[in-house]
Structure 1
Amino acid sequence: MTGVEQRVAVFEGQLRDAGLRMTQQRRLILRVLAESDDHPDAKGIFTRAFAHDPTLSLSTVYRTMKVLETQGAIERHSFEDGVSRYEHAGQQHHDHLIDVESGAVIEFSSDAIEELQRRIAADLGYELVRHRLELYGRKMRPTSRRKKG
């Protein structure tokens, strides 16, 4: 069983646990989500799935995503643009850098940042339980160098 198939099976189990029956449209939504390596929003998931089933409704996507979030199968992120984006839950901890021009979401990990956050919490008398770090930036443009002479 591939990673995508495993994620689909986990998602299906989460929907069944929530009392939903598995329809072809829900299976399609789950497959699109499982194949996603970006942070799609509901409209992006809808667009990808709609290409395979034009009878799909956006409300079905929203309901399915809400149940998956409630069941803990996915995490919802609301970045600065206000659009809810989703990613698979249970991944190794990572932070996000959001390109303010393109909207791209880049995942990264930094042991130095993790240690600094733990130290700050400890200095303030706290044990860090969880956190989210979102950085917003734009690609740096290479500076033009003048030729001498």
Structure 2
Amino acid sequence: MTREKNDGPQGRPEFQIFKDYIRKKGLRYTPEREIILREIVNTGDHFDVDELYLRLRNKGERLSKASIYRTIPLLIDCGLIQEVYYEDGHMHYEFIYGHEHHCHLRCLECRRIDEFVEPSLKKIEDRLARKFGYRVVGHKLEVYGYCPECRKKLNLR
């Protein structure tokens, strides 16, 4: 999945979505929150709070981890990011606004992540909705194992 790089919020709908959401919640749209969102949008990769914090610090930004931890739930709630997986005591997230829904294959050895779209999952959603009477609004699928390189290195079939 290709993610477009951008250095600022000018004309970007995700920044306006976040501003509107923050204001509806009665909160302030702070420069810190904008810096956090900008870094997430520009990186376009899976991240955890520690990685995001270090990237921002390395760029000279003076933000606390607490600011990031307080901003993450707001970004999830307004639909800009989602939780992807939990590993090594940290939740990992990804920017999802404007991106096609996808699932993940994750290597347990090297931590490589391959994103994929599987159209047959829609049929499974439909079948489950009928069977259990649900209105399905989405799914999150993570498949984990060993990538081809790690399988070779570990001599796994």
Change (3 A) 1:25 1:123: closer
Query: 1:25–1:53: 8 Å Cα contact kept in structure 2?
Result: no
Structure number with larger C-alpha Rg: 1
Q: Which residue of 2 aligns with 1:96?
A: 104
Aligned residues: 141
- Matched AA of 1:108: F
Percent identical: 29
* Whole-Å separation in 1 of the counterparts to 2:130 and 2:18: 40
Residue number among 73, 85, 95 corresponding to 1:78 in the alignment: 85
Q: Which residue of 1 aligns with 2:143?
A: 135
Q: How far did residue 69 of structure 1 move?
A: 1.8
Residue number among 63, 72, 92 corresponding to 1:56 in the alignment: 63
Q: How far did residue 132 of structure 1 move?
A: 1.6
Scaled by the length of structure 2, what TM-score is found? 0.71
* Whole-Å separation in 2 of the counterparts to 1:119 and 1:27: 38
Greater CA deviation, 95-104 or 10-19?
Answer: 10-19
Q: Which residue of 2 aligns with 1:8?
A: 15
**What value does the CA root-mean-square deviation take over the aligned residues?**
2.8
* Whole-Å separation in 2 of the counterparts to 1:99 and 1:52: 30
Structure 1 moving runs of 4+ over 6 Å: none
Structure 1: runs of 5+ lacking an equivalent: 144-149
* Whole-Å separation in 2 of the counterparts to 1:29 and 1:119: 37
Q: Which residue of 2 aligns with 1:18?
A: 25
* Whole-Å separation in 2 of the counterparts to 1:3 and 1:54: 19
* Whole-Å separation in 2 of the counterparts to 1:21 and 1:124: 44
Change (3 A) 1:16 1:3: farther
Residue number among 108, 121, 135 corresponding to 2:116 in the alignment: 108
Query: 1:118–1:127: 8 Å Cα contact kept in structure 2?
Result: no
Change (3 A) 1:33 1:3: same
For residues 86-121 of structure 1, what are the alpha-carbon distances to aligned partners after superposition, in whole Å with 9 as ceiling and x for unaligned? 223443221111121222332110123433x24752
* Whole-Å separation in 2 of the counterparts to 1:49 and 1:110: 34
Scaled by the length of structure 1, what TM-score is found? 0.74
For residues 6-64 of structure 1, what are the alpha-carbon distances to aligned partners after superposition, in whole Å with 9 as ceiling and x for unaligned? 13333333333323323322221110011122111111111111223352110110001
